[in-house]
């Protein structure tokens, strides 16, 4: 579907600079924009591409100063990144809506299926499971006994949701993710072997949670592993048994959270961060990539870097010495040699 600059500007409450009748039918990055597409400029590092892009329309912030010739039509908006998100959401809504239950899906008789759902081929839905209205279950999804899938939730191919787990409304779970696998619980029987501890709890995802591809969220030993409302998880994240993640926290890829750790609300966690078990992280904490958390963080809004993680200011001061370690070692070796030579003379 094509949209003119005039229509887009009206939708975004933006101001046009250029041809209001130019039309687009796709999106591109500003650095490799193509004719017939719309791009956006939010990061100043990409400003140089505004003057060379082939994109037909570019969204820019209202306060951006254009200091060269541009060939595209510009639409000035309050926030170009958020405006692009609104456009993509509109585009997504234009796609055909999948509905209906495929005759190659297997649904146990005791399961409850809501209205206007989509259940694709090779889906299995277990005993006493519930799929609420408007949910979309794509092919090759397994939903275990007594599991609940909330209203409007989308579950992409290959997801496995084990028995008695709860997924709230308007959630999105991407392919390959497993929710409700056993937590890593073993009791030593001797110095060489272990006895498995049954994991009898479940996993609860509250409303508006998005889980990336190939994540694993373990069921609780007892009680629940809980992902609160609005949490966003990237791909390849491991969340262990009895973890609780506070509302609107975002976590980047390859992070691992050990058992019984509690993350506060509105935290931001970079990629490849590791959390020790049984610790608590306050609300609003920001954690840089590859950090290691081994103790409680009690101060809200704190920024942490490093492994073990320390405060941002302390880390930056320490880094001055980290990067000089080879030179400092060489200096110490030279001083040691000089001292030894002086001792020989004595």
Active-site residue flag, 278: no
In 3D space, the residue among 68, 39, 67, 63 whose CA is nearest the CA of residue 53 turns out to be 39
CA 213-265-172 angle, to 5 degrees, is 25
248 Cβ contact partners less than 8 Å away, ≥ 6 residues apart: 228, 229, 230, 231, 265, 266
Given the residues 102, 140, 174, 241, the one annotated as active site: 241
Residues that are catalytic = 241
């Amino acid at each position: 579907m094509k949209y003119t600059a005039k229509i887009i500007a009206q939708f975004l409450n933006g101001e046009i600079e250029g041809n209001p009748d130019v039309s687009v039918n796709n999106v591109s990055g500003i650095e490799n924009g193509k004719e017939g597409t719309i791009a956006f400029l939010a990061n100043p590092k990409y400003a140089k591409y505004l003057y060379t892009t082939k994109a037909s329309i570019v969204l820019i912030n209202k306060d951006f100063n254009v200091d060269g010739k541009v060939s595209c039509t510009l639409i000035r908006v309050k926030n170009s990144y958020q405006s692009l998100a609104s456009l993509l959401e509109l585009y997504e809504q234009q796609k055909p809506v999948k509905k209906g239950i495929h005759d190659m899906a297997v649904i146990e008789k005791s399961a409850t299926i809501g209205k206007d759902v989509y259940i694709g081929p090779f889906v299995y839905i277990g005993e006493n499971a519930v799929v609420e209205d408007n949910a979309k279950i794509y092919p090759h999804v397994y939903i275990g006994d007594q599991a609940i899938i909330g209203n409007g939730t989308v579950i992409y191919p290959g997801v496995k949701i084990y028995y008695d787990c709860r997924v709230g409304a308007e959630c999105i779970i991407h392919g390959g993710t497993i929710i409700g696998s056993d937590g890593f619980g073993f009791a030593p029987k001797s110095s060489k072997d272990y006895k498995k501890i049954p994991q009898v709890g479940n996993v609860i995802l509250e409303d508006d949670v998005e889980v990336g591809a190939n994540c694993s969220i373990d069921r609780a030993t007892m009680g629940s592993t809980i992902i609160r409302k609005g949490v966003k998880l990237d791909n390849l994240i491991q969340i262990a048994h009895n973890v609780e993640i506070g509302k609107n926290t975002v976590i980047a890829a390859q992070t691992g959270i050990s058992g019984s750790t509690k993350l506060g609300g509105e935290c931001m966690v970079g990629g490849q961060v590791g959390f020790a078990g049984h610790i608590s992280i306050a609300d609003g904490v920001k954690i840089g990539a590859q950090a290691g958390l081994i103790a409680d963080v009690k101060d809200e809004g704190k920024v942490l870097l490093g492994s073990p993680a320390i405060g941002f200011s302390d880390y930056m001061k320490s880094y001055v010495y980290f990067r000089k370690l080879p030179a400092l070692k060489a200096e110490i070796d030279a001083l040691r040699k000089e001292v030894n030579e002086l001792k020989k003379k004595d």
